[in-house]
């Protein structure tokens, strides 16, 4: 069995987590063991088969087992209930495992636990407080326990390509940041791993970014729908926009018009991208964050209404968020 220093655990092999873990195992030194954990046994078996020959891959049942065997645990979880179960459960959670690991360790252990999902700020801060309380109960001269929020940007395509950006709730001067960056560099671009400040700041950066991205997706879809209905060529219109003031990530990297960009979800039936339900979720999180800090907003209400309506229609449900272009093009104008 590999030592905790040579073991990394990854929990959550979903749409984003699976390719993230693939890149991690593929780029890690073969002397490292990767522990994996997911609620789906089929996904776990598929991952093991795909990674055969890439280096040791072992399965753990929960966060408790993961943190007892690895000095770094990375999770990519979908929502608050999952985060609370994985981190805070008194019998199977990561923090319970960290206490058990510290009590049985024969040498000092420095544990780093990282959540990469886009989770509500309040939940991240709850886990941070619980981690701090747990850390204070350990022997401070021999064990440390640090929780970091490090949400990602780049979507499934970025996860597959290993080009994700990370917004890390950690100061650049923190001694653990180089360790975190070294491991996350296997999953994303090193130059796009940003130390954002104290715990929770990574999440705030991510929610702010996603707020803009969601509204931009709708705005770009509206503009391109206008042009197509006029009779403009959408590829030429996209080229003009991308050479002009309307250029944005959506028009240049994930164009909502089918056929304009062959690798965009729109050209694959809006499959494999950032699901409209998740886009609606992060937009709401941005609106809630604005309310928390007293920031005036104008566009969040109408945009939320649009994503709500589109996601209720079975034709668009579960599709990439840029399917709002199709929803717009197939809808009648309302005065």
Using alpha carbons, list the distances in angstroms from residue 164 to 157, 187, 191, 236: 9, 7, 10, 29
Global pTM value: 0.88
Task: Spot the catalytic one: 68, 132, 179, 206.
Answer: 206
Catalytic residue flag (residue 326): no
Q: 205-329 has which fold?
A: 1.10.1040
Q: What is the pLDDT along the chain (335 residues), one digit of tens a residue?
A: 789 899 999 999 999 999 999 999 999 999 999 999 999 999 999 999 999 999 999 999 999 999 999 999 999 999 999 999 999 999 999 999 999 988 776 666 789 999 999 999 899 999 999 999 999 888 665 668 999 999 999 888 899 999 999 999 999 999 999 999 999 999 999 999 999 999 999 999 999 999 999 999 999 999 999 999 999 999 999 999 999 999 999 999 999 999 999 999 999 999 988 899 999 999 999 999 999 999 999 999 999 999 999 999 999 999 999 999 999 999 987 76
Rounded (10°) CA dihedral 40, 43, 49, 53: -90
Whether residue 95 contacts residue 85, with contact meaning beta carbons closer than 8 Å, is answered with: no
Which residues, 6+ apart, have CB-to-CB distance to 278 below 8 Å? 118, 321
Give the pLDDT confidence score for residue 103 in this predicted structure. 79
Q: Looking at the domain covering 4-199, what would its CATH class be?
A: alpha beta
Q: What are phi and psi of 219, to 5 degrees?
A: -65, -45
Indicate the domain borders of the chain: 4-199, 205-329
């Amino acid at each position: 069995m590999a030592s905790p220093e040579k073991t990394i655990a990854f929990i959550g092999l979903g749409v984003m987590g699976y390719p993230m873990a693939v890149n991690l195992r593929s780029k890690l030194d073969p002397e490292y063991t990767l522990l994996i954990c997911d609620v789906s046994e089929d996904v776990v078996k598929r991952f093991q088969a795909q990674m055969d020959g890439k280096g040791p891959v072992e399965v753990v049942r929960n966060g408790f087992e993961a943190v007892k065997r690895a000095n770094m645990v990375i999770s990519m979880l979908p929502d608050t209930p999952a985060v609370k179960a994985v981190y805070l459960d008194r019998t199977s959670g990561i923090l319970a495992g960290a206490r058990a690991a510290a009590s049985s360790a024969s040498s000092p252990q420095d544990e780093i636990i990282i959540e990469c999902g886009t989770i509500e700020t309040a939940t991240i801060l709850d886990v941070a407080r619980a981690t701090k309380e747990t850390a204070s109960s350990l022997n401070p001269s021999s064990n440390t326990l640090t929780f970091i929020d490090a949400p990602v940007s780049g979507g499934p395509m970025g996860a597959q390509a290993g080009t994700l950006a990370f917004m890390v709730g950690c100061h650049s001067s923190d001694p653990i940041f180089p360790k975190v960056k070294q491991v996350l560099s296997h999953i994303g671009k090193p130059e796009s791993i940003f130390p954002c400040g104290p715990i929770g700041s990574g999440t705030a950066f991510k929610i702010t970014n996603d707020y803009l991205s969601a509204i931009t997706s709708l705005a770009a879809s509206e503009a391109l729908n206008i042009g197509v209905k006029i009779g403009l060529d959408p590829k030429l219109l996209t080229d003009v926009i991308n050479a002009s003031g309307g250029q944005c990530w959506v028009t240049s990297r994930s164009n909502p018009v089918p056929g304009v960009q062959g690798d965009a979800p729109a050209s694959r039936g809006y499959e494999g991208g950032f699901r409209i339900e998740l886009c609606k979720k992060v937009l709401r999180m941005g609106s809630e964050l604005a309310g928390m800090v007293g920031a005036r907003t104008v566009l969040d209400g109408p945009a939320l209404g649009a994503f709500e309506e589109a996601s209720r229609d079975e034709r668009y449900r579960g599709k990439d968020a840029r399917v709002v272009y199709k929803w717009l093009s197939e809808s009648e104008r309302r005065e």
